[in-house]
């Protein structure tokens, strides 16, 4: 197991390095950062001077090397616009986004697992059709539309929930629900198809022939096998959610990672964008690694293969 984790970590670091290099290069080639920074009325001399003071006239690799050296020490530089440390800006927002992301994923799993399981036990029943219907409409409904409808109904008409900001736990209810609804369809369908496949297996028949309760057959025998791909998918979804949702954060006026990234891209705030890129890729990599480890722990066959 230790060797397995070690090899995965090495690969992960290589991936992270590649992402940082490619990201850095693309961001610098995507436009003239000095011109953006200097503003529309700046003269050619002013732009050239700014480029020199910012070090943007140095070779790309040299710029990358100094960025990497700083980043390795946890210094992601200053935002071009906010004149604030990128790390400070990030830390101020990650809490909000993480609460949203984790709650949305937990809600999504809490809904998807039981419904997907029930649909798998009774294929083509009304429940199965309902599950498929919910999955389909969840996928078809754009997040911004759902968010606006919820605001107008629960926020404006019923006045049950606050509609903007992140001051109290109540503020999180609607954004979490919208994010969860985005994650539910894939999870629910994977649970259903995975369970249906597992329930066809010989060892389920064996378990049934032992006279144990059907709940135990479902949970202990079937779910333990069907959950492996669900864990992998959940890891990917949490990664996406941690990157922040621009739509949900804008509609509910939540100052999180998604909105910060979006604004920074718009303004060409390169240090912030590069840092966010690193954060999102690092979360994906760590979460997939975590999913692999959990799966190996749950499935002895994976454990053995890795030795």
Partner 1 sequence: MTALLDISGLKVDVPGRAGTLHAIRGIDLSIGAGECFTIVGESGCGKSLTAMSVLGLLPRAAILSAERMSWKGQDMRRFSRRQWANLHGPEIAAIFQEPMTALNPVLTVGEQIIESFVHHRLGNRKAALARAGELLERVGVVPVERRLAQYPHEMSGGLRQRVMIAMALMCQPKLMIADEPTTALDVTTQVEILKLLKELQAEMGMALLLITHDLGVVAHMADRVAVMYAGQIVETGSVASVLTRSAHPYTSALLDCLPTRDQPLTPIPGVVPALFGELEGCMFRNRCRFAREACADPVPARSVGEGHVYRCLLEANEVAA
Applying CB under 8 A, the residues found at the interface with partner 1 are 201-203, 205-214, 216, 220-221, 224-225, 298-301, 304
Task: State the minimum distance, in angstroms, from the CB of residue 183 to partner 1.
Answer: 25
- The DSSP bridge partners found for residue 78 are 85
How far is it, in rounded angstroms, from Cα 173 to Cα 104?
Answer: 9
Q: Cβ closer to partner 1: 126 or 158?
A: 126
Task: State the minimum distance, in angstroms, from the CB of residue 117 to partner 1.
Answer: 16
Q: Cβ closer to partner 1: 53 or 214?
A: 214
Q: Is 85 helix (H, G, I), strand (E, B) or coil?
A: strand
Inter-residue contact 190 to 237 (CB < 8 Å): no
- The DSSP bridge partners found for residue 85 are 78
DSSP code for 123? T
Task: State the minimum distance, in angstroms, from the CB of residue 224 to partner 1.
Answer: 5
Write a three-state SS string for 27-55.
Answer: HHHCCCHHHHHHCCCCCHHHHHHHHHHCC
How far is it, in rounded angstroms, from Cα 96 to Cα 101?
Answer: 9
Kindly state the tokens that stand for 47.
């732009």
Q: Cβ closer to partner 1: 173 or 298?
A: 298
How far is it, in rounded angstroms, from Cα 126 to Cα 166?
Answer: 39
Q: What is the Cα Rg of the chain in Å?
A: 24
Task: State the minimum distance, in angstroms, from the CB of residue 203 to partner 1.
Answer: 4
Task: State the minimum distance, in angstroms, from the CB of residue 7 to partner 1.
Answer: 22
Q: Cβ closer to partner 1: 50 or 207?
A: 207
Q: Cβ closer to partner 1: 153 or 297?
A: 297
């Amino acid at each position: 197991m230790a060797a397995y984790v070690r090899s995965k970590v090495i690969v992960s670091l290589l991936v992270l390095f590649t992402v940082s290099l490619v990201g850095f290069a693309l961001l610098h080639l995507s436009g003239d950062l000095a011109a953006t920074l200097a503003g529309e009325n700046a003269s050619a001399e002013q732009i050239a001077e700014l480029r020199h003071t910012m070090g943007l006239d140095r070779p790309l690799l040299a710029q990358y090397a100094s960025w990497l050296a700083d980043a390795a020490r946890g210094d992601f530089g200053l935002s071009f616009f906010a004149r604030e440390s990128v790390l400070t800006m990030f830390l101020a927002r990650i809490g909000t986004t993480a609460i949203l992301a984790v709650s949305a994923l937990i809600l999504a799993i809490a809904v998807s697992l039981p419904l997907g399981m029930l649909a798998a036990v009774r294929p083509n029943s009304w429940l199965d059709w309902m599950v498929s219907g919910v999955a389909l409409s969840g996928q078809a409904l754009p997040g911004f539309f759902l968010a606006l409808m919820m605001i107008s109904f629960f926020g404006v008409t019923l006045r049950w929930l606050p509609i903007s900001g992140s001051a109290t736990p109540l503020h999180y209810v609607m954004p979490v629900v919208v994010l969860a609804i985005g994650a539910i369809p894939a999870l629910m369908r994977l649970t259903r198809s995975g369970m249906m496949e597992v329930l066809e297996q010989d060892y389920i028949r064996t378990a049934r022939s032992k006279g144990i309760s059907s709940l135990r057959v479902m949970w202990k025998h079937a779910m333990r096998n069907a959950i492996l791909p669900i864990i992998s998918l959940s890891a990917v979804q949490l990664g996406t959610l941690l990157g922040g949702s621009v739509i949900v954060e804008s509609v509910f006026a939540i100052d999180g990672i998604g909105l910060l990234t979006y604004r920074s891209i718009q303004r060409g705030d390169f240090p912030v964008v590069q840092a966010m890129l690193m954060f999102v890729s690092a979360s994906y990599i760590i979460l997939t690694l975590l999913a692999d480890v959990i799966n190996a722990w749950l499935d002895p066959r994976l454990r053995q293969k890795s030795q």
